[in-house]
Amino acid sequence: MYMETTLNTKFIGIRRFVSELKLELPFDRAQIIQELDSEAWVPHGEVAPVGHNPWPNTRYKCLRPQWKHKALTAVSRYFGSVEFKRQAIDWMYQEYHGIDVTWGMSADEMCRRSRTHIEFTKDMPGFVNDIHTDYRQLIATGMIYFSDHDTPDLSSYFYTDQNRSNPTRMTTAFGDGWWHMNSYDTWHEGWNRTDQVRYSGLLGLTIYTADLPEDDPQFPH
């Protein structure tokens, strides 16, 4: 039987559209790492939305942890819950003025038309995710680190433009992370410059999309 456990997330605003995350877990790092080490990892390109894989041999994903891995299952359920989604959306609408205009919907409407999830991620030494903004189906993205200490060699950096202006480094200690709303000025990059695996959880708040009904005049017959 699955046992519910308590996880909590704190959002801390640091600049427009970018926040720190602090995740409180009822599991120690040793259990999390043990379960991650024994997961079934697949190359990023096998689960990417359009088969996009610029990181062959350096980035791997686990979308659904094995049921026997109780800690990872609890973390996955938590970040896929309506409670976390509601907290994240309410935080953004409270913290960032004008979101209702940008997205053309209220916080309640966004909650009805979106999903949150976590992708457990394994980045090998040498992994680099060059400076970018995210694809437009993502309203917001985030990351939780499962590292044992804070180091720039595992960090993500945020900038206000493609020229890497106004850099902000995110801390990488166990349970630390970040959350940002996808926008024209949330350029970011990250890497693994160590000789160890970087484990993390990538978070997403994604607009729910569905096909047009077949009787719609714009349905592509």
The pTM for the full model equals 0.92
pLDDT reported for residue 89: 97
85-93 contacts, C-beta under 8 A, 24 or more apart? 85/111, 85/114, 85/115, 85/116, 85/205, 86/111, 87/9, 87/11, 88/11, 88/116, 88/140, 88/179, 88/205, 89/114, 89/205, 91/11, 91/19, 92/140, 92/181
On whether the CB atoms of residues 130 and 164 are closer than 8 A, the answer is no
pLDDT reported for residue 219: 84
pLDDT reported for residue 75: 98
Q: Specify the 3-state DSSP secondary structure of 138.
A: strand
Per-residue model confidence as pLDDT tens for the chain (221 residues): 344 568 999 999 999 999 999 999 999 999 999 999 999 999 998 887 777 778 889 999 999 999 999 999 999 999 999 999 999 999 999 999 899 999 999 999 999 999 999 999 999 999 999 999 998 899 999 999 999 999 999 999 999 999 999 999 999 999 999 999 999 999 999 999 999 999 999 999 999 888 888 998 988 87
Fold of 24-207: Jelly Rolls (2.60.120)
Contacts of 158 (CB under 8 A, 6+ apart): 15, 18, 167, 168, 170, 178, 180, 186, 187, 188
**Structure token pair of residue 143:** 């990351």
On whether the CB atoms of residues 30 and 193 are closer than 8 A, the answer is no
How is the chain split into domains, by residue range?
A: 24-207
